């Protein structure tokens, strides 16, 4: 990669050729492993978990809603760390990881933001209560969207700028949460989930695991795609301009 003087004929992409074996099957393995977990989890959620006392049947949304929220945060964190690595080491691989993680964070964040109001409507009678968690998730999602917009539409030199945006976004998460909480203390706030009985947690973990595997699998696939696109770009440039 660092060799600036390529021969006239573009070589096949080195990354695709060697040293990438394990990671090329890993995403598919993740997705495969997720299938039984998710089937089991949905079965448990609908067939063998008691109905929660105070929130009723609608509480079953919890089992997929909360993992999506956690995944969204995890993806924002991964994107932030990858962006830091990208800045430090000038690594295009890390840039791909950051972009892929941000995209999955976008999807999971949208999932949280859509299922949250459905749940809220069922239990509180109102889709949006302005709870600290809701607002901070929405703000985090906005940062992710800004990152994606910058990556896709920014000028060519903006990859590093986007990385800085991702880092700030990751740093912002706890600050936003704290600030929104402070802001909400001026108004009364509604209580959310308290403690859960163990059988509910037993239903919760498989769902979380399944969704985690799906997200990681998609992340891996997307990273592979982005790297391939990079290699292709490089090959085209070498072909058209074999300096």
Partner 1 sequence: MNETTPPPSKPGDDYAPVVGISQEDTATLRMLEGKAADKTARDYEHIVWAYGVLWALFAAYGLFLWRRSARLRADMNDLQRALDRTADRR
Partner 2 sequence: MRLLRQALLLLRSELRQELRDFELLLTAGFFTVVLLAMFYLSFASLQAKAHLSALPGLMWLTVAFVGVLTLTRVFDREREADTLRALLAAPIERLAIYLAKAAMALLVLMICCAVLVPGLWLMFPAGQAFADQPGQTALLALLGCAGYVAIGTLFAAGLATGAGKNTLLFIILYPLTTPVLMYALVTTRALLDRDPALPDHLTQMFLLDLILFAAACLLFETVLVGAPARAPGRRPRHPRRPDASVRQDMSREPSR
218 contacts which partner out of partner 2, partner 1, none, CB within 5 to 8 A by kind? partner 1
Please name which of 77, 65, 80 lies closest in space to residue 110, comparing C-alpha atoms: 65
- Which one of 88-96, 131-139, 155-163, 217-225 is the stretch in contact with partner 1 (CB under 8 A)? 217-225
| HSE, side-chain direction, 13 A CA sphere, residue 107 | 12
At residue 52, φ and ψ (nearest 5 deg) are -65, 140
Of the candidate residues 57, 185, 189, 190, the single one contacting partner 1 (CB under 8 A)? 57
Please name which of 184, 174, 97 lies closest in space to residue 139, comparing C-alpha atoms: 174
**171 makes contact with partner 2 (CB under 8 A):** yes
- Which one of 153-161, 167-175, 189-197, 235-243 is the stretch in contact with partner 1 (CB under 8 A)? 235-243
The number of beta carbons lying within 10 Å of the beta carbon of residue 96 is: 21
At residue 216, φ and ψ (nearest 5 deg) are -65, -40
Which one, 80 or 105, has the nearer CB to partner 1? Answer: 105
Of the candidate residues 44, 64, 71, 94, the single one contacting partner 1 (CB under 8 A)? 64
Q: How far apart are CA 95 and CA 150, in angstroms?
A: 13
Output the smallest distance, CB 141 to partner 2, in A: 9
Of the candidate residues 45, 66, 68, 163, the single one contacting partner 2 (CB under 8 A)? 163
> Exposed e or buried b for every residue in 131-147, given b needs 16+ CB within 10 A?
bbbbbbbbbbbebbeeb
CB 221 within 8 A of CB 229: no
96: left (phi over 0), alpha (psi -120 to 50) or beta: alpha
**236 makes contact with partner 1 (CB under 8 A):** yes
- Which one of 90-98, 137-145, 146-154, 218-226 is the stretch in contact with partner 1 (CB under 8 A)? 218-226
Total residues binding partner 2 (CB under 8 A): 46
- Which one of 159-167, 174-182, 193-201, 221-229 is the stretch in contact with partner 1 (CB under 8 A)? 221-229
Output the smallest distance, CB 172 to partner 1, in A: 24
**119 makes contact with partner 1 (CB under 8 A):** yes
Q: How far apart are CA 216 and CA 195, in angstroms?
A: 29
Report the interface residues with partner 1, using CB under 8 A: 9-10, 42, 56-58, 60-61, 64-65, 68, 103-104, 107, 110-111, 114-115, 118-119, 121-122, 214, 218, 221-222, 225, 228-229, 232, 235-236, 239
């Amino acid at each position: 990669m660092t060799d600036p003087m390529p021969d006239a004929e573009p070589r096949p992409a080195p990354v695709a050729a060697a040293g990438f074996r394990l990671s090329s099957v890993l995403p598919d393995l993740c997705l495969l492993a997720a299938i039984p977990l998710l089937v089991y989890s949905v079965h448990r959620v609908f067939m063998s978990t008691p109905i929660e006392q105070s929130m009723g049947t609608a509480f079953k949304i919890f089992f997929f809603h909360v993992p999506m929220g956690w995944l969204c945060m995890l993806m924002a964190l991964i994107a932030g760390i990858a962006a830091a690595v990208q800045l430090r080491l000038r690594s295009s691989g890390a840039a791909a990881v950051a972009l892929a993680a941000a995209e999955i964070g976008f999807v999971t964040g949208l999932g949280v933001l859509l299922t949250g109001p459905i749940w809220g409507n069922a239990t509180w009678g109102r889709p949006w209560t302005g709870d600290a968690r809701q607002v901070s998730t929405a703000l985090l999602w906005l940062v992710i969207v800004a990152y994606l917009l910058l990556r896709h539409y920014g000028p060519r030199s903006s990859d590093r700028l986007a990385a800085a945006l991702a880092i700030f976004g990751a740093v912002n998460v706890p600050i936003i949460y704290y600030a929104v909480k402070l802001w909400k203390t001026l108004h009364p706030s509604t209580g959310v989930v308290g403690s859960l009985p163990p059988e509910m947690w037993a239903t919760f973990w498989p769902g979380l695991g399944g969704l985690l595997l799906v997200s990681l699998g998609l992340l891996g696939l997307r990273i592979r795609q982005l790297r391939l696109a990079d290699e292709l770009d490089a090959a085209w440039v070498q072909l058209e301009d074999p300096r």
